[in-house]
Structure 1
Amino acid sequence: MMMPLPASANDLPAPLTADQFHPSDPEKARIGQLLFYDKILSGNRNISCGTCHHHDLGGTDGLSLGIGEGGVGLGPKRSAGTGTDKIRKRIPRNAPALWNIGHKSIRNIFHDGRLSISNIYGNGFNSPAEEWLPQGLDNITAAQALFPLTAQFEMAGNPKENEIAGAVHDRIDAAWPIIAKRVRSIPEYADMFAEAFDEIEAPQDLTIVQIGNALGAFINSEWASHDSPFDAYLTKQTRLPEPAQRGMDLFFGEANCASCHSGPLFTDQKFHALGLPTFGPGRTRRFDPMPRDVGRMGESDTLKDAYRFRTPSLRNVALTAPYGHNGAFPTLESMIQHHSNPITSRDIWTRDMANLPNAPWLQAIDFTIQSDTREMARQSRALDIVPITLTPTDITDLKSFLHSLTGASENNRPLGRPSTVASGLPVD
């Protein structure tokens, strides 16, 4: 049924189309699919990219704060491990969704934007690796894929446990040749890379650059999504269900959601303070006296950026609960309610709303930041949301609109999860 777009159509984003994404070579993407789920990339060979960004969980892990190196199991059922292998720290932030990060407009990645497109170091990116990030990475997704491999509590493991963790302790780029050697020592991978990459003539030519580019090709193509009911509304004028239609009018109208969630990806890629409840180990800097997370300021060292985090894309947002940079809110309703009145929302928030797998040895840390009254006061003062009155019906309608951003093919991705990988290690 064809219906004219409403008068507010000028406020709507342009349609999202396939040509707006970085192109991905299918052969490289196939290698990236295997590596994405292959634990050979982790220090102790016990965790993969897919463990925390799994197809069955909408490209995330379903946890507020992830369980990385040392954990056991998948998603909300993942445990914190036991004995000497148990985790030493929760991942400080919620596992970000991967949907549409291959869009050509993406300029920064991670909750604090610590990876961005820049030539400040001569390699195309401003990143935690600074000048040690190698040249030749195809795009920001390929660059992003390298950092979890060297993160102690994500995939690298603890110093003295394995050669990768030990190398990272010396300098971040010391680990990547070790990872590359692991991969090229597997004949199937060596043959696949030689076939897909013109610059590889012999196994020793394979470096972390090609590994990053293969992972990037997979992520960019696998998680591209632009076939939602909202896309059909924009391109075919197919009317949304009435609740979603009302929610759309609110979203782009008096609720003012589009002031930050703008453009085809529903993100301005800027940084805002939402006043979320705080918990967890925090993404601390070496001189931080407490388990806090200062957000963008940790990257910029600029006081005005304190407690501000990157606006997430809302495409397929219904698939990626819990919400917020620390996964504080378990449902879309609770996150919408927080946006409407963050102060009240923070006051009534309860600890059981955070999905934190049991780890008794970490309980003293999980919520200790909330006892620091001065830090809580600082965080409360950093707030960029203007409260707005929303009725229960308004919240339901906004939720319906957000569900209309879910792609029709979200359960039928181009490659999906492989049943086996070249290393022979188990696949989560």
Structure 2
Amino acid sequence: MKNLKFYSLIAIVTCFFNSCATDHDDYIERPSQSILEERLDELFGSKESLILPASNDYSGIPSDAKNSITEAKVALGKFLFHETMLGENPTKPEGKDTYSCASCHHAAAGFQSGILQGIGEGGFGFGAHGEGRVKASNYVESEIDVQPIRSPSVINSAYQDVMLWNGQFGGVGTNAGTEANWTAGTPKEVNNLGFEGVETQAIAGLDVHRMVIKADFVVNTKYKELFIAAFPDVPQEECFSKLYAGLAIAAYERTVLSNEAPFQKWLNGDESAMSTDELKGALLFFDKGQCYSCHSGPGLNGMEFHALGMNDLAGENVLTVIDEATKKGRGGFTGNSNDNYKFKTPQLYNLLDVGFFGHGGSLKSVRDVISYKNNAVAENNEVPSSNLSEQFVPLNLTEDEIDLLTLFVENSLYDPNLKRYQPESLPSGNCVINADSQSSIDMGCM
């Protein structure tokens, strides 16, 4: 009789605890693969909706309606993006032909800058991964091409319709209604051409970063046939220009996709692509960590702007004054006080390549960012609490969960072969990325 009562008690207790198990407990007990698939189906309809297309699947990559992606455009744009001979409008003669778009957005740093502030003209050196670039000693701060905010990544930019942290580039979509802020005589005026952000930034960026497309340079190099192949229906007198160079660069940028990352392989059916701990981290990303609420779609980015109270660029190594418009982010562009201190949601692939996070680079690791969001305490006292995002709230992640989430972001979202998007040489014969004397030594281009 006593044994019967004992076993009955055990059964009741077991039933009680099983009935009170949380969803999180269920995640621990059940296979991570199937739980993750179910969660992605619940959030997005299917896991396939997060798959990045192949970089040569031009019809599958989001494109501008006015700038279709073609193999010829991509080939031209890939060269132009890395072409140092476009550096034809320097402030100092010695800076001529020493910098390119890739000076601040190169493969070795996940198509961001390898340093806190990217430097175009006036930079010196490269190092191994771009971390060795410094201000050239013969330049003063007012002469160098440096931005008052961290260089955003080009990776997966096909999944954005406006560009830059404040979203100021892009003449359609998200920027509809901001036409009054497309100030004549400034780079924002390029929005009037009616292109999406990738194209608009590529066109405007050539002037901003002191690059010039000279017809005689094009005609006397292999670039002539590359331009003609890319834009066969455009007269040559129009074709060899900033506009069409920008459109080719944009077509190339849209193909820079992190589609060889382990998470992408897993989405495509390779169940061995992620470890058990990475799968647990992915479950946290798409559930308790709430990361998916801002970072979604194939690019794991977003077209919303949020104020998270992060610091602006600061410190003795910052090479320019940070103006108020930059500090106000989206509000600095729109003029709407409700947009103040809000910045565009960035993509999350290949973050392991850099050591600066947030628009001001104030956080030094992926784990720092996750911990910052987990605690939800603003570090920038200039940002009013009323402007902070409603999604900036404590997440109650444990230290172990932060470790798992960090593992997923750093490892599972890391494409190890971004060098495939960088040419080995240029039609001009000049050095790729940078061509100052120290960079030439660092990169073996002599």
| Fold conserved between structures, TM > 0.5 | yes
What residue in structure 2 maps to residue 60 of structure 1? 112
3-state SS of 2:123 partner: coil
Q: Which residue identity is paired with 1:8?
A: R
Which aligned pairs between 1:258-407 and structure 2 lie closer than 5 A?
258-280=292-314, 281=320, 283-284=322-323, 293-343=327-377, 346=379, 376-379=381-384, 382-384=387-389, 385-407=392-414
Matched, 1:147 2:204: yes
Matched, 1:11 2:43: yes
Rg larger in structure: 2
Q: CA deviation digits over 1:49-81, x for unaligned, max 9?
A: 111111222211222222232111122211111
3-state SS of 2:124 partner: coil
Q: CA deviation digits over 1:171-197, x for unaligned, max 9?
A: xxxxxxx63446435432223212332
Q: CA deviation digits over 1:28-63, x for unaligned, max 9?
A: 222212211112333223310111111222211222
Q: CA deviation digits over 1:378-417, x for unaligned, max 9?
A: 456532210233222111100111134435553452x423
Q: CA deviation digits over 1:280-303, x for unaligned, max 9?
A: 446526xx7xxx611100111000
Distance 2:192 2:242 in 1: 8
Q: 2:122 aligns with which of 48, 54, 70?
A: 70
Q: Give the C-alpha shift of residue 96 in structure 1.
A: 0.8
Matched, 1:238 2:277: no
Contact 1:93 1:326 in 2 (8 A): yes
Q: Which residue identity is paired with 2:50?
A: P
Q: Give the C-alpha shift of residue 91 in structure 1.
A: 1.7
Q: Which residue identity is paired with 1:41?
A: L
Distance 1:182 1:425 in 2: 20
What residue in structure 2 maps to residue 225 of structure 1? 258
Q: Which residue identity is paired with 1:228?
A: A
Q: CA deviation digits over 1:271-319, x for unaligned, max 9?
A: 001111233446526xx7xxx6111001110001111100111133333
Moved more, 192-201 or 387-396: 192-201
What residue in structure 2 maps to residue 367 of structure 1? none
TM-score, normalising length: structure 1: 0.75
Contact 1:112 1:299 in 2 (8 A): yes
Contact 2:338 2:387 in 1 (8 A): no
Q: Which residue identity is paired with 1:38?
A: E
Which aligned pairs between 1:156-235 and structure 2 lie closer than 5 A?
156=210, 179-181=213-215, 183-203=217-237, 205-221=239-255, 223-235=256-268
Q: Which residue identity is paired with 1:231?
A: Q
Q: Give the C-alpha shift of residue 126 in structure 1.
A: 6.4
Distance 1:71 1:278 in 2: 22
What residue in structure 1 maps to residue 135 of structure 2? 80
Change (3 A) 1:205 1:331: closer
Q: What is the RMSD computed on CA atoms of the aligned residues?
A: 3.3
Distance 1:324 1:83 in 2: 30
Gaps of 5+ in 2: 1-30, 54-59, 91-96, 315-319, 435-446
Q: Give the C-alpha shift of residue 109 in structure 1.
A: 1.1
Contact 1:97 1:320 in 2 (8 A): no
Change (3 A) 1:84 1:311: closer
Change (3 A) 1:48 1:253: same
Change (3 A) 1:3 1:392: closer
Q: Give the C-alpha shift of residue 129 in structure 1.
A: 4.0
Q: Give the C-alpha shift of residue 339 in structure 1.
A: 0.9
TM-score, normalising length: structure 2: 0.72
Moved more, 61-70 or 226-235: 226-235
Matched, 1:95 2:151: yes
Distance 1:230 1:39 in 2: 34
What residue in structure 2 maps to residue 21 of structure 1? 62
Distance 1:420 1:186 in 2: 14
Change (3 A) 1:249 1:422: same
Change (3 A) 1:264 1:116: same
Distance 1:306 1:236 in 2: 42
Distance 1:395 1:2 in 2: 17
Moved more, 33-42 or 92-101: 33-42
Q: CA deviation digits over 1:309-337, x for unaligned, max 9?
A: 00111133333442111221121111111
Q: CA deviation digits over 1:193-231, x for unaligned, max 9?
A: 12332134435642222101211122122x122232222
Matched, 1:30 2:37: no
Distance 1:335 1:17 in 2: 25
Q: Give the C-alpha shift of residue 242 in structure 1.
A: 1.9
Change (3 A) 1:179 1:230: same
Moved more, 126-135 or 106-115: 126-135
Contact 1:71 1:87 in 2 (8 A): no
3-state SS of 1:236 partner: coil
3-state SS of 1:77 partner: coil
Change (3 A) 1:39 1:378: same
- Aligned pair count? 365
Contact 1:34 1:422 in 2 (8 A): no
Distance 2:32 2:373 in 1: 34
Q: Give the C-alpha shift of residue 143 in structure 1.
A: 2.0
Q: Give the C-alpha shift of residue 249 in structure 1.
A: 1.8
Q: Which residue identity is paired with 1:11?
A: L
Identity of aligned residues (%): 23
Contact 2:157 2:254 in 1 (8 A): yes
Contact 1:21 1:220 in 2 (8 A): yes
Distance 1:55 1:142 in 2: 20
Change (3 A) 1:417 1:237: closer
What residue in structure 2 maps to residue 115 of structure 1? 169
Distance 1:257 1:382 in 2: 20
Contact 2:171 2:200 in 1 (8 A): no
